[in-house]
A and B are shown apart, each in its own frame.
Chain A
Amino acid sequence: MNIVLIGMNHKTAPLEIRERLPLSSRNNVHPLLEMIKIPQIKEAFYLSTCNRVEALASAVDAKAVVERLKEFIFPHGDLTSEEMARCLYVYFDHEAVRHLFRVASSIDSLVMGEPQILGQVKEAYRQAAELRTTGVILNRVVHHAFRVAKRVRTETEIASNAVSVSFAAVELAKKIFGALKGKTVLLIGAGEMSELAARHLIKYGVDRILIANRTYTRALEMARDFHAGVIEFDRLGEGLRDADIVISSTGAPGYVINAEMVAAALHRRKSRLLFLIDIAVPRDIDPAAGNIDNVYLYNIDNLQEIVDENLNNRRREAEKAEAIIEEEALKYREWFGTLKVVPTIVSLREKVEGIITGELGRSLSWMRNLSPEQRKNVEILASSILNKVLHDPIAALKEESQNGGALPYIAALRRLFRLDDG
């Protein structure tokens, strides 16, 4: 196929090396433009995220350009050749295609199944398309990668179920309350994780936030960020009455909320379900509160267990995804196999002969009036016209193939004459 992929990711290269690479341009020259300048490279695609750098190219001779590609990457990161040898991977043809499919499907990501990578691949492709560095081969590979990613997403559970503590909390809230619209969240204490969870909850429909903090001014500050209401710390009971979801993360040494407070609040809220999330260490909420009817209490370990379980599940689903990717990579190889001069000419001729036979068959009714000799002449006329029409394109194709540049013509021909349909 003469496709080559060279790159490094979070598995092969430590952060110190990775962070040196994504200098997207030196002297304001886009890496794609530098790649495409390498003489033998016909098409180029370049993806750079915080976890990976991938340079994909289609070349006249893929093996020959590997060293040149390394030289292209080399000055970007000031890598020593020893570091290069350790961190870089090089894939050719089938393996290169499969690798790109794995990347786009998020199988190769640090957090398997994370959704951002597909957007990053799309953005990288947009740049390549803008700079016109991709052509028949890579366009097809990248588009195919998008399709594979979609298939993996819908056919496996790789991207379902929370793999972060704050998302696990959101999923649990949905298990309890269904839609979160109209629900109220009470944040007790400030903390990055509780803020993150609150933001996720807002995204999923929670529309009222209450904040309680031992330092009242800090509570007011946070309230401004969230457009939230503030509750005084010694009146938490009232917050428990109004809120449906409570996220507690104070630095208090003892319990901030005890079981009696919860029981009393539940009585006042007429037994409406209450979801308590305790992400503080040491814990803020008395575990006994979890035994009360219609109260669901999760601490940080409970949430982490869910996350671990979900991560295991993703790893199992990854096997299914690998099978899909392999299948699709084979499909690509099959398509690539059709991109040859002789088979293309053969199927073009077949198509044309099919048309001639079909049209003659349709004219049978009036041709019956002709003598056998006249009929023969009509048939000869029809096929000689079509052969004349085909002669120049086929001759040009053979010419190009001798110069080694037939691929785009073959692809165009197959597309224009619909040779791949049926």
Chain B
Amino acid sequence: MGYLYLEEKDFAAFVDALIAAKRVVGPTAKRNKFVYEQLASADELRLDFDVTILPPKKVFFPPAQDIVRFGEQAIEGCIAPVDTVLLGVHFYDVKGIDMTDYLFRERKEDWNYLAQREATTVVASNIQAISPRAFWDSVGAEVKPKGHDAFLTKLAGGCVLETLTPKGEALAAFGAFRDATADEINAAQQTNDSVMGQCSEKLGYTSEAIAAKVRDSFDNEELWDELAMDCFSCGSCNTVCPTCYCFDVKDAWNLNQVSGSRTRYWDACLTREFAAVTMAGGDKENFRERHQSRFRHRFMRKTAYLNEKLGGPACTGCGRCSQACTVNIADPVRVITAIMEVGS
């Protein structure tokens, strides 16, 4: 593991060589936003992205994924990982991937996620543009980005590739890399340090203080009613979150009406029926019937409930929920700050 350097003129050839050998997924422009897509050529890669619409979790945990296929007699699993390079992941999304890795691995390993995760080389990249709603420099400082295989930092004239695992080292064979000099390594470090403190939104409290106060606010119904007042229960905040991993499972028949598949789909705890159970006579027992309860549940999950497991909050500060929220109420900075200011 070490530091390599690639001249800017050789970068496109490196990416094209990877594309020729593997599936390469990276940030690319879509209208005026960015998305992770499989790349057809190096020209499509936009490492100057600020944030993508959906987080990179979709590479391992697709919005729709078959988990069992069935025929008339037999059933089979459908775990079929593809050798993939995920190229261009900001550090806050590296944290998100590491959290979903933990959650799909803990207690009962879910190889429908883990197989594709293990078949993927994750290449982090430095932040060249900052999303207007991001606050990744003021949330969860105790959670260190880990689990990625390499870290790419763009400098004037070239880039430094820090290799962290054997999978990361294997990337070197695809480009005209040389060992990086001490100056180049320092310059890369400075480049990454310099973005910290640049986000326009900020959380002014420690994770511990937030977790304690948010938990204490559970029964403050007036506060949650106010914070969640305009919520449409649309679940957009869940859909774009790098650490949301809930799913629904549905069966569907093929046209022959004999075979079919059992498929999991992203689900969202903000939606009305998420915690509802059908009872006798078709009545529903909904364990979080009010939208305020669902809104509160999400904030509890992101700031308090999982902290012990994950070593810090399950919020990475990407700001996607703030941007995606139809009525602009999901912003964690707004909600957490309001809770922290109660009684002070």
Do chains A and B interact in one complex?
Answer: no
